[in-house]
Amino acid sequence: MPITIAITLYSIAWLLLVRAISRRRTHFPALFNGILALALLAHGFGIYKQMVMPDGYHFAFFKISSLFFWTANFLVLLSSLRKPLHNLFLVTLPISIFALLSSLYTEPDAASVYLKLSTSSAIHILLSILAYSTMIVATGQTLLLAFQNYKLKHKHPTGLIRLFPPLQTMEKLLFELLWVGEILLTLVIITGVFQIENIAAQHLHHKIVFTVLAWLIYAILLWGRHHLGWRGNSAIRWSLSGFASLVLAYLGSKFVLEVILGIS
């Protein structure tokens, strides 16, 4: 029931957003934020019911994907109260609806493994969720920046593009998000070291390789921005490459293990 309510409210919020953008409004009414806040409450409660079980925590692929996008939407809503980030919901809301629908129709079976977490494990997982979610928001910002950069380069600054903040502001927002995400990703790697007992038994090879690769890509991007003034297409390509590695690190390896190979 909470998941169904969340899907409905996300859909209403997205339609309101599209309507506001089509009418070239730059100010989003309290109604939009209110509906989104209610959607987040329903989404959060639905995640809790799906993942917290008497026998432990259920971190299945589709459940954890839904949690990532709950955190991403929360971060965007919080940030949009002081920065022009509402357009990011054009990307995050449809994907959130898809993630919720997927989690709704992939209920845990009797063979599912439920995890009992220590304090250190809980901290590591919390940091991971925050890091992935921040990078999801940064990637949404990257896609909007790519769209804006393309339109301006081809001299078509009309329609939707007029509602975007200046290109410099969009880039500044992107790199603020990337810095936060990189710091969180660093903490994820550090805390993750203490969770390793047997790399092979825990199926961690791919996760470690792609997580470190993502960290390096983001580090190079931030270094290039600071020392070489990277912007535009260079920043977009590096940002998307980093996120692709991050997806392969967690969701990719988890999808292969659980959905393809059937390993819990």
For 192-233, the pLDDT digits (tens) are 887 766 555 445 567 788 889 999 999 999 999 988 888 888
| Residue 142 in domain | yes
Give pLDDT, residue 150.
Answer: 81
- Among 89, 107, 125, the domain boundary falls at 107
Query: Do residue 102 and residue 171 come from a single domain?
Result: no
Same domain, 101 and 227: no
Q: What is the pTM of this model?
A: 0.72
Q: Which two tokens stand for residue 221?
A: 């991007």
DSSP H helical ranges for the chain: 2-22, 30-51, 61-80, 89-104, 119-153, 167-193, 205-228, 232-247, 253-255
The answer to whether the beta carbons of residues 198 and 212 sit under 8 Å apart is no
The residue among 107, 126, 155 that closes a domain is 107
How many domains does the chain contain in total?
A: 2
Same domain, 143 and 251: yes
- The pLDDT value recorded for residue 27 is 64
Residue 81 lies in a domain: yes
* Domain stop point among 64, 79, 107: 107
Q: Do residue 122 and residue 98 come from a single domain?
A: no
Indicate the DSSP class of residue 27: S
* Domain-embedded: residue 3: yes
Within this chain, do residues 31 and 72 fall inside the same structural domain, yes or no? yes
Asked if the structure places residue 112 within a domain, the reply is no
Residues 194 and 101 in one domain: no
Residue 178 falls inside a structural domain? yes
Q: How far is CA 203 from CA 59, 200, 253, in A?
A: 15, 5, 9
Same domain, 177 and 60: no
What does the angle CA 68 – CA 73 – CA 74 come to, to the nearest 5 degrees? Answer: 100
Q: Are residues 142 and 251 in the same domain?
A: yes
Does a structural domain hold residue 209? Answer: yes
Q: Reduce the DSSP state of residue 259 to 3 states and report it.
A: helix
Low-confidence residues in the chain, pLDDT < 70: 24-29, 53-62, 106-117, 155-165, 196-205, 251-264
CA distance 156 to 154: 6
